[in-house]
Amino acid sequence: MERALGSPWNSITFGLSILLTPAAVYATTAAPSAPAPGSDGTAAGVVFAIAILALLVVTGIAVKLHDRKRKVEDEVAALQGRISDAFFGDRVLSGMSVTPTVRMPLRQKGLVTVTLTGTVPTPEARDAAIQLAMQAMEESQVSFQLEDRVLVDPMASRRAA
């Protein structure tokens, strides 16, 4: 009757016999094949090295361009601040709405462009703004061109007051 119902000890011993049997009995081995000619990994290594080198070069160029752009932005802010300070220091122009805008090319040999915009009440105030901007740019020893977009409006002094 024990056989008909099945003993739990029989299934345990069968499971242990499977677990304790050496793995080499069940494993099948494949004979190692000879590597194909020219595929020993050196070609893949060379391609990988070239890809890494190219990535480093591209990263270096990107960092250099970003640094140059930041330097140009700093120089533009300094020049624009110098001109604005000259306007605020002048008793005639300090109350006027003349705004200097400086544009500098990314390359070093380019010409800096200074654009003056705003409204002044007299032609003399306009000439004073242009002279102050030119003087500030000449002190910075930068090659520049000046764009004059300052409007003369006699009503501008009444609006400001």
Residue 133 lies in a domain: yes
Sheet with strand 112-120: strands edge to edge: 97-103, 112-120, 144-152
Q: Where are the beta strands (DSSP E) in 34-126?
A: 97-103, 112-120
Bridge partners for 100 per DSSP: 116
Its sign, for the CA torsion 65, 67, 70, 74, is: negative
Question: 2-42, pLDDT tens digit by residue?
Answer: 454 555 555 555 555 555 555 555 555 655 565 555 556 78
pLDDT of the residue at 116: 93
Which tokens hold the place of 46? Answer: 């060379």
**Residue 41 pLDDT:** 72
Q: Does 65 reside within a domain?
A: no
List, in sequence order, every residue forming a beta bridge with 144; answer none if it has no partner. Answer: 112
Q: Which residues constitute the domain of residue 98?
A: 76-160
Is the residue at 11 inside a domain? no
Per-residue model confidence (pLDDT) at position 1: 44
Global confidence as pTM: 0.60
The answer to the question of residue 153 being in a domain is: yes
CATH code, 96: 3.30.300
Which phi and psi (to 5°) does residue 158 adopt?
-70, -35
Residues of the chain with pLDDT under 70: 1-40, 156-161
In a domain? residue 62: no
pLDDT for the residue numbered 153: 86
pLDDT for the residue 90: 87
- At 125, list the tokens: 């105030």
Amino acid at 8: P
Tell me if 70 is assigned to some domain: no
Task: Tell me whether residue 6 is in a domain.
Answer: no
Structural domain count of the chain: 1
